[in-house]
Amino acid sequence: MYCHRCSQKAAIRMPHHRLQLCKEHYLAWFIEHTDHTIRRYHMFDRSAHILVAVSGGKDSLSLWDVLWRLGYQVDGMYINLGIQSEDDYSNRSQRYAEEFAQQRSLKLQVVDMARDYGESIPEVALGSHRGHSKPCAVCGLAKRHVMNRAANDGQYDVLVTAHNLDDEVAILFGNTLAWDTDLLGRQAPVLEARPGFVRKAKPFCRFYERETVAYALLQQIPYIEEECPYAVGSKQLRYKTLLNELEEERPGLKLNFYVKYLQARESGFIQPRPPEEGTEAEAHRCPSCGQLTTSSGLCTFCRLFEQA
Amino acid sequence: MPVTLIYRKQEFQLEGTITVKDALQKLNLSSASHLVTRDGELLNDLEPLRNGEVVKIVPAISGG
């Protein structure tokens, strides 16, 4: 099986694009395709000061690598969640992120939840109703808060995350099953800035997850292969497995689901819910962390940590 | 000597020449969710695996 652009052996076949490429042409295609997505959705330009959220995994390190190769001004941030497993998950993930940054002389900011906020995510989750059985909800809330705070404090123009198409489609699938029109309306490649909240963009939103893995492998980027111990058996993982079974039978199904959703959103068929009257005006600064919140008193994040 | 496939610290063995896609199928794994490498080289899903070779199966989905 040969590359569609030269006579070399193909390293990857992408049936949904009817494309098979060798290592060299795949890496070039992947970088070019990322830049194309950035421009297609008006995510940012080369004058922007970008913060990328890195986890030490294949998606975020690949994204940082591609943005760096494309010449964007991009710094990284890693959040050590304090997840201890037999593989020492959080500390090992941090080392992958640090080594990546060091090798390319890039700036990486590390936030350690236990050191900087007094408690690790599993500890906070144990003390809360929200995450008592599984810390994923607490983890998501904490990451969003800490990333937004770092992006605001560092005066970054945009916060980028490495959500890939499989992530987006699994979320879309879950929200569609529940007919959660509010959440459906909020899903997009770019989330515009609101008072107190930085602009967010997802430059990998059109890549299948196996494509980001292939990029990391072919570019020889070391990353943490182990799954977060709390993700095992998660709903999102189940949706991804199901959708991939369908994808094998009907190549392009996932891409089509996502692209058609974006078209429906653009045409007004699915609309983000407008903020309730007075909500924006009622937002105030959290007396503890100073971030904008609509909760009365402390923001949800600070309340959670205080409770714990 | 059969083909050895290493997946999440476990070893599986399959006999005879077989494509990557068919090998994954025999292990009940989807080729949309996994990639295979041999000595660090990424193999396309139609690449044949031969007796005696050792390959690694890399999961291509994660979630949380």
Domains of chain B in start order, with CATH, are 3-59 (3.10.20.30)
* Per-residue pLDDT at A222 exceeds 80: yes
Are the C-beta atoms of B64 and A33 separated by less than 8 Å? Answer: no
Summary mean pLDDT of chain A:
92
> B44 and A217: CB-CB below 8 Å?
no
DSSP single-letter state for residue B60: -
CB contact under 8 A, B35 and A210: yes
The CA distance from A201 to A209, in Å, is 17
Residue with tokens 């007004």: A268
Domain ranges of chain A: 27-275+282-307
Strand partners for B57:
B7, B36
Give A-chain residues touching B40 at CB under 8 angstroms: 217, 220
Which residue on chain A is closest to B40 by alpha carbon?
A: A217
Interchain CB contacts (distance < 8 Å): A and B: 82
> Any chain B CB within 8 A of the CB of A237?
yes
Name, in order, each residue with C-beta under 8 angstroms of A157's C-beta and a sequence gap of 6 or more. Answer: A44, A48, A49, A50, A199
Task: Print burial letters for A112-150: b (CB count within 10 Å at least 16), e (below 16).
Answer: bbbeebebbbbbbbeebebbeebbbebbebbbbbbbbbb
What is the reported pTM? 0.94
Query: Is-contact A112 A291, C-beta < 8 A?
Result: no
Contacts of B30 in chain A (CB under 8 A): 241, 244-245, 248
Q: A61 — contact with chain B (CB < 8 Å)?
A: no
| Closest B-chain CA to A250 | B32
Nearest to B20 by CA among A252, A223, A24, A10: A10
Q: How far apart are CA B43 and CA A1, in angstroms?
A: 10
Tell me what the mean pLDDT of segment A182-203 comes to: 93
The pLDDT of residue A291 is 86
Within 8 A by CB and 6+ apart from A203, the residues are: A34, A37, A38, A43, A63, A66, A67, A160, A162
Q: What percent of chain A has pLDDT over 70?
A: 95
User: Are B62 and A247 in contact (CB < 8 Å)?
Assistant: no
pLDDT in tens, A135-163: 888 899 999 999 999 999 999 999 999 99
Is the CB of residue A168 less than 8 Å away from at least one CB of chain B?
no
Residues in B touching A230 (Cβ below 8 Å): 64
Nearest chain A Cα distance for residue B13, angstroms: 22
Residue A292 has pLDDT above 70, yes or no: yes
Looking at the complex, does the CB of residue A201 fall below 8 Å from at least one CB of chain B?
no
Query: Contacts of residue A20 in chain B, CB cutoff 8 Å?
Result: 44
Residue range A163-175, pLDDT digits in tens: 999 999 999 999 9
Contact A217 B58 (CB under 8 A): yes
Question: What pLDDT, on a 0 to 100 scale, did the predictor assign at position B55?
Answer: 97
User: What is the tens place of the pLDDT at every residue in A15-66?
Assistant: 999 999 999 999 999 999 999 999 999 999 999 999 999 999 999 999 999 9
Looking up tokens 């077989």 gives B18
Question: For residue A131, what pLDDT band results from cuts at 50, 70 and 90?
Answer: low
One DSSP character per residue, chain A reads -B-SSSSSBPSEEEGGGTEEE-HHHHHHHHHHHHHHHHHHTT---TT-EEEEEE-SSHHHHHHHHHHHHTT-EEEEEEEE-----TT-HHHHHHHHHHHHHHHTT--EEEEEHHHHHSS-HHHHHHTSSTTSS-THHHHHHHHHHHHHHHHHHTT-SEEE----HHHHHHHHHHHHHTT-HHHHHH--SEE--BTTB-EEE-TTTTS-HHHHHHHHHHTT-----SPPTTTTT-HHHHHHHHHHHHHHHSTTHHHHHHHHHHHHHHTTSS-PPPPPTTHHHH-EE-TTT--EESSSSS-HHHHHHHH-
Fold of A27-275+282-307: Rossmann fold (3.40.50)
A231/B43 touch (CB, cutoff 8 Å), yes or no: no
A163's tokens? 């959500």
**Within an 8 Å CB–CB cutoff, is residue A23 touching chain B?**
yes
Q: Which residues of B touch A209 (CB under 8 A)?
A: 60-62
